[in-house]
Structure 1
C-alpha cells in the first residue's frame, strides 16, 4: 500500500491527500482542480505560510527576501529554476519579509536572502546568501540525506 501525503494546493491552499506514487503524475487539487505542482516558487503571505509549512508532508523551502534587496532579486531566477528541479519532492516558496515581517520575525531572519528548509512544521536547516540553482538543489539534497 502506498502512503498518502498531505499536499497543500498553491492556488487555493486546500490540503489534498495524494498517494506518494502519484506525485510525479501531475496531480490536481480536489477543490479548485488546478495543478498541485507548477514548477515555480509560490508567493506566501501570513495565512498561506502556516498552511504550507505546517500541513504539507513534503519539505517546504522558503526564501525569505525583500523587494529592495539586490542579491534577493538576483537569486530569483535561480530559485525558480531550482523549483523546476526539486518539485514534486520539495515545495519552493517565497516570503516577502517587508510585506510580512510578523511571519519572518519568529524565525530570527537576520539577513536576506535566507532560505529555510521546513519539514512537518520544523526547521531542518537554513542558509543565507544568494546562490545559483545548482547550489540550491545540492544544498537541499544534502540536508535531506543527512
Structure 2
C-alpha cells in the first residue's frame, strides 16, 4: 500500500510505499527526506497542501517568537516528534510570518497544536504540553 505525503520543504506531493516510511524516503522533486525526527518550519502554502493530501497525521505547532509559552513548548514538541518516529510528522508555523493563519484556523491563543490527516482536522490542543502528553494525544487523534 502507498502513502501520500507532501514534502515539507518544496511542497511537492509524493506517493511512497508504506514499508519505506522508516527507510529514509525522499521527495521525488527536491530529494529532501519526507520523514524527519524533528519539527520542520513550514509556510502556510505548504500547510494548506499537506493538510489536504497527507495520509499520516501532520501535527502543527502554531507559535510566535515573542510568546514565552511558545518558546517553552518548542523542546517538548521536538521530543514528541522524536518519540513518535514515522507514525506522524511534526511542523511549526510562525503566526507572525503568516498572520492570516489566525482567521483561517480560528486561533484564539498560542501555542496551539492542530493535528491534520487526509483533509480533516483530527484535534487541537492549546497551551504548553509535556512531550509524553503530546505523543499520547497524537496517538489517540490518529486512531479517531
User: What TM-score comes out, normalization by structure 1 length?
Assistant: 0.91
Superposed CA deviations along residues 69-126 of structure 1, whole A, max 9, x for unmatched, are 1010011011111111223221111111121121231211101111111111211111
- CA-CA distance at 1:46 after TM superposition: 2.2
Deviates more, 1:44-53 or 1:64-73: 44-53
- CA-CA distance at 1:145 after TM superposition: 2.7
Counting only pairs closer than 5 Å after superposition, residues 10-25 of structure 1 correspond to structure 2 as: 10-25=8-23
Residue aligning to 2:100: 102
Secondary structure of 1:101's aligned partner: coil
Structure 2: tracts of 5 or more residues without a match: none
Aligned length: 144
Residue aligning to 1:142: 140
- RMSD between aligned residues: 1.3
CA distance in 1, matches of 2:132, 2:88: 15
Runs of 4+ in structure 1 off by over 3 angstroms are: none
CA distance in 2, matches of 1:87, 1:15: 20
Counting only pairs closer than 5 Å after superposition, residues 44-123 of structure 1 correspond to structure 2 as: 44-123=42-121
Q: In the alignment, which of 123, 131, 134 is matched to residue 133 of structure 1? A: 131
Secondary structure of 1:36's aligned partner: coil
- CA-CA distance at 1:4 after TM superposition: 1.0
- CA-CA distance at 1:51 after TM superposition: 1.7
CA distance in 2, matches of 1:37, 1:143: 19
User: What TM-score comes out, normalization by structure 2 length?
Assistant: 0.92
Secondary structure of 1:88's aligned partner: helix
